Amino acid sequence: MNMILVKHFMEQLACDRQRGYIALITVLVAGAVGVAIAVSLLLLGLGSSRTSFSLEQSNQAKALVNACSEEALQQISNSIPFEGTGSLTLSQGSCSYTVTKLTGQNRTITASGTVGTIIRKASITLDKIRPSINITSWQEVTDL
């Protein structure tokens, strides 16, 4: 009878070991899947943050282009024969503008704003300065 109990105990022990290995492998596989999901979410979040940062810099560069364009318009308004360049430096970046005198009251303003590595540019065309400035075109351009 003792032999039967020992044999039964040994069979039970072998079965318990198999169940233990299966549980261990299940925990390891579930952990690996969890780690893979966590890493994927972190990388997606990082990519999203980079995109948001670039978009914010682009918007700031556009605001700088508008600021320099407005400054150029103010210079023209203050002095009708104004022709030349200027620049502004603000906390987020810098911009520059060039006013080119064409014929009569026609002027062209080119402006460029830079924030970090992002550059935005605009070209503005005027056909009249007095009695008030008349803008015929204000468009963002890729190259000046």
pLDDT in tens, the chain (144 residues): 556 665 666 666 666 666 777 778 888 888 888 888 888 888 887 777 777 888 999 999 999 999 999 999 999 999 888 999 999 998 889 999 999 998 888 999 999 999 999 999 999 999 998 888 999 999 999 876
- CATH number, residue 90: 3.30.1300
pLDDT at 6: 58
Strand order across the 107-115 sheet? 84-90, 93-101, 107-115, 118-128, 134-141
Distance, CA of 129 to CA of 65 (rounded, Å): 21
Domain count, the chain: 1
Q: ∠ at Cα 107 (78, 91), nearest 5°?
A: 60
Q: Is residue 49 part of a domain?
A: yes
Q: Is residue 7 part of a domain?
A: no
pLDDT at 4: 66
Q: Is residue 3 part of a domain?
A: no
Q: Which residues sit opposite 110 in a β-bridge? A: 98, 123
pTM for the model: 0.68
Distance, CA of 115 to CA of 45 (rounded, Å): 23
Domain that holds residue 113: 12-141
Q: How big, in percent rounded to 5, are the helix, strand and coil portions of the chain?
A: 55, 30, 15
Single-letter code of the amino acid located at 105:
Q
Q: Is residue 6 part of a domain?
A: no
Q: Which residues sit opposite 36 in a β-bridge? A: none
pLDDT at 62: 95
52 burial (CB, 10 Å; 0-12 / 13-18 / 19+) is: exposed
